[in-house]
Amino acid sequence: MKKIRVRIREGYDIYIDREGLPRFNYYFPQREPRKALVVTNTNVWSLYGERFISSVKEGFSSIYTLILPDGERYKNLKSVEKGYRALVENRFTRSDCIINLGGGVICDTGGYIASTYMRGIEFYQVPTTLLAQVDASIGGKVAVNLPQGKNLVGTFYQPKGVLIDTKTLDTLPKREFNCGMAEIIKAAIIDGEHFFSLLERDRISIITLIERAIKLKAKIVKMDEKDRNIRKILNLGHTFAHAIEAVTSYKRYLHGEAVAIGIMYAIKLGEAIGVTEDGLEKRVAEILKRFKLPTELNGIDPKSLIPYFYIDKKATTSSLSFIIPVKIGDVREYKDIKIELLGGILK
Distance separating alpha carbons of residues 199 and 193, to the nearest angstrom: 10
* pLDDT reported for residue 336: 86
Distance separating alpha carbons of residues 25 and 46, to the nearest angstrom: 21
Distance separating alpha carbons of residues 109 and 335, to the nearest angstrom: 30
Cα–Cα distances in angstroms (integers) from residue 93 to residues 14, 32, 294, in the given order: 25, 13, 45
Distance separating alpha carbons of residues 219 and 230, to the nearest angstrom: 11
Say if pTM beats, i.e. exceeds, 0.85. Answer: yes
* pLDDT reported for residue 202: 86
Backbone dihedral region for residue 162 (phi beyond 0: left; psi -120 to 50: alpha; all else: beta): beta
Q: 2-11: list long-range contacts, CB under 8 Å, 24+ apart.
A: 2/207, 2/211, 4/211, 4/214, 4/215, 4/218, 5/218, 6/138, 6/139, 6/158, 6/218, 6/221, 6/222, 7/218, 7/222, 8/158, 8/221, 8/222, 8/225, 9/158, 9/225
* pLDDT reported for residue 164: 98
Distance separating alpha carbons of residues 322 and 315, to the nearest angstrom: 9
Domain match, 192 and 341 both: yes
Q: Which residues pair with 3 in a beta bridge?
A: 15
Distance separating alpha carbons of residues 277 and 281, to the nearest angstrom: 9
Distance separating alpha carbons of residues 280 and 327, to the nearest angstrom: 7
pLDDT tens sequence across 7-20: 998 899 999 999 99
Number of domains comprising the chain:
2
Domain match, 198 and 319 both: yes
Domain match, 53 and 160 both: yes
Domain match, 190 and 287 both: yes
* pLDDT reported for residue 318: 61
Burial of residue 212 (number of CB atoms within 10 Å: 0-12, 13-18, 19+): buried
Q: Which residue segment(s) compose the domain that 13 sits in?
A: 2-171
Domain match, 99 and 191 both: no
Domain match, 18 and 88 both: yes
* pLDDT reported for residue 317: 58
- Report the alpha-carbon angle 151-327-333, nearest 5: 40
Phi, psi of 177 (to 5 degrees): -60, -45
Which residue positions in the chain have pLDDT lower than 70? 316-318
* pLDDT reported for residue 207: 93
CATH number at residue 225: 1.20.1090.10
CATH number at residue 122: 3.40.50.1970
Domain match, 88 and 205 both: no
Distance separating alpha carbons of residues 181 and 168, to the nearest angstrom: 15
Domain boundary among 121, 137, 171: 171
pLDDT tens sequence across 66-76: 999 999 999 99
Domain match, 191 and 236 both: yes
Phi, psi of 73 (to 5 degrees): -70, -10
* pLDDT reported for residue 323: 97
Domain match, 161 and 246 both: no
Domain match, 331 and 196 both: yes
**3-state per-residue secondary structure call for 66-83:** EEECCCHHHCCHHHHHHH
Domain match, 211 and 323 both: yes
Domain boundary among 171, 198, 218: 171
Domain boundary among 119, 153, 171: 171
Domain match, 283 and 143 both: no
